[in-house]
């Protein structure tokens, strides 16, 4: 039997029992003491978090969305009944939708009963098969503690230790596994959309960080969603501009988490742009050393880049992203219905991150961006009306999904940046050293870096002139910057290069398009003189393009945001971090 067949068979039997309409207190023991439940529990306990065979099977059957539920179900034995049966309901929704209402209605009754918080394990160890389950418990203590006393269902770790006979020499190798889901959804705040309620309903509450601008437009919708679903909401609203990306903001969040005793298996919900993603994610990384979180990216930047990114951080001492932790969300939701309230300047700078993935990873995405052009921004990704609304809506969805897939493929294979072959760092080599100082919006700083990187690639004969022109035209068509005079500050740009080289383990490893659009290579050698001369040549090259390479509203202050240069610490040299 395949994994899916086994699950379907077990779910069918559980549903048949639940359909009997007995009181919850009777139904739970009937299910739990059955042979099929025992087989299911044992099989779940033994299921590895990552199993290529299962992944392939679920993919072939079009059931990829069931994978994270199966992964969470591995902990059913130790979970409260409400979490266990909530997972059954979720997975039934995907594998056998006709049975899902039975599970949902049982779950409703269970949530109101005094059995909800009791663990499956404790019920099993008191029931008819107590011996079997008590022995299982003893065995798990030694052989599979994650199945018995997990800290959270989202992570597990192991290590191997060898030591010399006198124990004076000890060697260890440690590994860690986690899993995450990415969903392109629409209207996640409609009461009937289960993606958030499935997580928070069994927990009974949701601790939520919201971007101030998001709160203004969607605050009441957020409140309504949780109240309609009977979930207590603890909502904290933060202003999240670049100047707020500080440890002080992170500390405030830690304070809120402490006051509410946020648990390590309880995902915090973050709804906002790139700054809130970075600082909220960092607060979660720090709280209890690790707290899971769900990211709803409400801007382009957070929807397809900062949101799913494991690189949580804040700025400090005049350096961008100086302090941080690798901590990916357990679920990232991209919902373009939020984009309708974004200002044009915010949309424009966000598109830079999509263009980035297109240039170095996805030629098809590049063509789609060329085809739709500025309409993508004018229509706010098809969320405001336009004569060609339906085609733009479809194209926007494809562009978001393509950008997300390319990004996730690049990022998640190298979660801890243990090597520097990172296509998604294209445009981010020199920009961290001049973004804050110039007051540029992140996307404009990145697009300048992308233009210059493509130019360097052409200078090395790695890229044809027509591809270079296509790249620079796409950037200017989207009204982004190719040029800013800060590039002429030789000392600053050289400092940016040396700092990023240090940060990248001694290699410049600057990702640039190589060979053709959609492919990536890495520049590792660039002397100070070459850098200066190439910048001067690049400046005159940019003159051939629209607005002489200048972007529209390139500065934070142009689009209603505080100028981050105002908070740079003048006692510290301004260089990249």
Nearer to ligand NAD, 272 or 329 (CB): 272
Q: Which of 278, 335, 479, 553: binder of ligand NAD (CB under 6 A)?
A: 278
Interaction of residue 478 with ligand NAD, rule CB under 6 A: no
Interaction of residue 342 with ligand NAD, rule CB under 6 A: yes
Q: In this chain, which stretch among 16-24, 207-215, 386-394, 396-404 interacts with ligand NAD, using CB under 6 A?
A: 207-215
Nearer to ligand NAD, 27 or 178 (CB): 178
Kindly give the residue spans of alpha helices, DSSP state H, lying in 261-299.
274-286
Chain centre distance of CA 545: 35
Q: Give the Cα separation of 404 and 518 in Å (integer).
A: 15
Helices (H) and strands (E) in the chain, counts: 24, 12
Torsion sign across C-alpha atoms 147, 151, 155, 159: negative
How many residues of this chain bind ligand NAD (CB under 6 A)? 30
Kindly give the residue spans of alpha helices, DSSP state H, lying in 318-463.
344-361, 363-372, 375-378, 389-412, 435-438, 442-459
Task: Give me the least distance between CB of 129 and ligand NAD, in Å please.
Answer: 48
The owner of tokens 């700092």 is: 499
Interaction of residue 577 with ligand NAD, rule CB under 6 A: no
Distances from the Cα of 95 to the Cαs of 36, 38, 56, 192, in angstroms?
18, 20, 16, 20
Interaction of residue 363 with ligand NAD, rule CB under 6 A: no
Nearer to ligand NAD, 107 or 342 (CB): 342
CA atoms within 13 A on the CB side of 428: 19
- Token digits for 379? 């229509």
Task: Give me the least distance between CB of 345 and ligand NAD, in Å please.
Answer: 8
Q: In this chain, which stretch among 54-62, 142-150, 271-279, 396-404 interacts with ligand NAD, using CB under 6 A?
A: 271-279
Interaction of residue 442 with ligand NAD, rule CB under 6 A: yes
Interaction of residue 338 with ligand NAD, rule CB under 6 A: yes
Q: In this chain, which stretch among 1-9, 24-32, 346-354, 455-463 interacts with ligand NAD, using CB under 6 A?
A: 346-354
Interaction of residue 273 with ligand NAD, rule CB under 6 A: yes
Q: Which of 8, 241, 263, 421: binder of ligand NAD (CB under 6 A)?
A: 241
Q: In this chain, which stretch among 156-164, 199-207, 297-305, 354-362 interacts with ligand NAD, using CB under 6 A?
A: 297-305
Interaction of residue 293 with ligand NAD, rule CB under 6 A: no
Interaction of residue 152 with ligand NAD, rule CB under 6 A: no
Interaction of residue 209 with ligand NAD, rule CB under 6 A: no
Greatest C-alpha distance within the chain: 82
Interaction of residue 451 with ligand NAD, rule CB under 6 A: no
Three-state SS for 202?
coil
Interaction of residue 242 with ligand NAD, rule CB under 6 A: yes
Q: Is residue 309 a contact partner of residue 277, using CB atoms and an 8 Å limit?
A: yes
Q: Is residue 92 a contact partner of residue 71, using CB atoms and an 8 Å limit?
A: no
Interaction of residue 382 with ligand NAD, rule CB under 6 A: no
Interaction of residue 431 with ligand NAD, rule CB under 6 A: no
- Token digits for 330? 């357990």
Q: Give the Cα separation of 97 and 94 in Å (integer).
A: 6
Task: Give me the least distance between CB of 383 and ligand NAD, in Å please.
Answer: 10
Q: Which of 231, 275, 284, 480: binder of ligand NAD (CB under 6 A)?
A: 275
Q: Give the Cα separation of 90 and 66 in Å (integer).
A: 8
> Mind giving me the DSSP string for 17-72?
HHTT---HHHHHHHHHTSHHHHHHHHHHHH--S--HHHHHHHHHTT-GGGHHHHHH
Interaction of residue 115 with ligand NAD, rule CB under 6 A: no
Interaction of residue 302 with ligand NAD, rule CB under 6 A: yes
Nearer to ligand NAD, 350 or 433 (CB): 350
* Closest among 522, 351, 345 to 440, alpha carbons compared: 345
* Closest among 123, 110, 121, 181 to 150, alpha carbons compared: 121
| Contacts to ligand NAD by CB under 6 A | 211, 213-214, 217, 240-242, 245, 272-275, 278, 298-299, 301-302, 305-306, 309, 311, 338, 341-342, 346, 349-350, 353, 442, 561
């Amino acid at each position: 039997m395949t994994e899916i067949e086994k699950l379907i068979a077990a779910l069918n039997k559980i549903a048949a029992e639940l359909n009997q309409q007995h009181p919850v207190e009777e139904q739970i023991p009937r299910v739990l003491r059955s042979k099929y439940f025992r087989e299911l529990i044992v099989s779940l306990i033994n299921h590895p978090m990552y199993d290529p065979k299962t992944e392939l099977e679920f993919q072939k059957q079009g059931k990829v969305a069931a994978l994270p539920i199966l992964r969470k179900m591995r902990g059913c034995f130790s979970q409260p009944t409400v979490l266990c049966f909530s997972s059954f309901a979720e997975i039934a929704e995907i594998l056998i939708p006709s049975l899902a209402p039975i599970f949902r209605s049982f779950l409703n009754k269970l949530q109101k009963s005094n059995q909800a918080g009791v663990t499956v394990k404790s019920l099993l160890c008191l029931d008819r098969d107590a011996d079997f389950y008590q022995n299982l418990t003893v065995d798990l203590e030694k052989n599979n503690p994650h199945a018995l006393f997990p800290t959270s269902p989202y992570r597990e770790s192991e290590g191997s230790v060898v030591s010399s006979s006198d124990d004076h020499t000890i060697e260890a190798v440690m590994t860690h596994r986690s899993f995450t889901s990415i969903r392109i959804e629409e209207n996640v705040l409609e009461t009937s959309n289960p993606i958030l309620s499935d997580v928070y309903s069994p927990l009974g509450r949701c601790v939520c960080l919201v971007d101030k601008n998001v709160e203004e437009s969607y605050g009441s919708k957020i409140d309504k969603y949780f109240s309609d679903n009977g979930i207590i909401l603890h909502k904290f609203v933060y202003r999240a501009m670049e100047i707020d990306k500080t440890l002080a903001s992170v500390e405030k969040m830690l304070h809120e988490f402490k006051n509410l005793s946020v648990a390590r298996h309880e995902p915090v919900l973050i709804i906002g742009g790139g700054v809130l993603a970075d600082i909220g994610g960092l607060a979660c990384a720090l709280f209890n050393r690790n707290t899971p979180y769900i990211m709803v990216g409400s801007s382009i930047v957070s929807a397809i880049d900062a949101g799913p990114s494991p690189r949580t951080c804040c700025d400090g001492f005049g350096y961008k992203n100086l302090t941080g932790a690798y901590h990916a969300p357990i679920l990232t939701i991209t919902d373009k219905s939020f984009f309708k309230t974004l200002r044009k300047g915010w949309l424009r700078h966000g598109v830079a991150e999509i263009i980035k993935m297109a240039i170095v990873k996805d030629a098809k995405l590049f063509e789609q961006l060329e085809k739709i052009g500025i309409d993508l921004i004018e229509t706010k990704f098809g969320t405001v009306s336009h004569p060609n609304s339906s085609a733009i809506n479809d194209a926007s969805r494809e562009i978001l999904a393509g950008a997300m897939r390319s990004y996730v493929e690049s990022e998640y294979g190298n979660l801890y940046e243990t090597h520097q072959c990172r296509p998604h760092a294209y445009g981010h080599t020199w920009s961290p050293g001049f973004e804050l100082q110039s007051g540029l919006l992140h996307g404009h700083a990145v697009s300048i870096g992308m233009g210059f990187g493509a130019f360097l690639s052409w200078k090395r004969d790695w890229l044809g002139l027509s591809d270079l022109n296509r790249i620079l035209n796409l950037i200017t068509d989207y009204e982004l910057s190719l040029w800013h005079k800060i590039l002429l500050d030789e000392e600053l740009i050289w400092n940016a290069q040396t700092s990023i080289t240090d940060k990248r383990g001694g290699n410049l490893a600057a990702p640039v398009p190589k060979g053709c659009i959609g492919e990536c290579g890495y520049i590792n050698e660039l002397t100070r003189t070459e850098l200066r001369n190439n910048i001067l040549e690049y400046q005159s090259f940019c003159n051939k393009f629209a607005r002489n390479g200048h972007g529209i509203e390139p500065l934070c202050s142009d689009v209603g945001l505080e100028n981050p240069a105002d908070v740079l610490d003048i006692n510290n040299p301004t260089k990249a971090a």
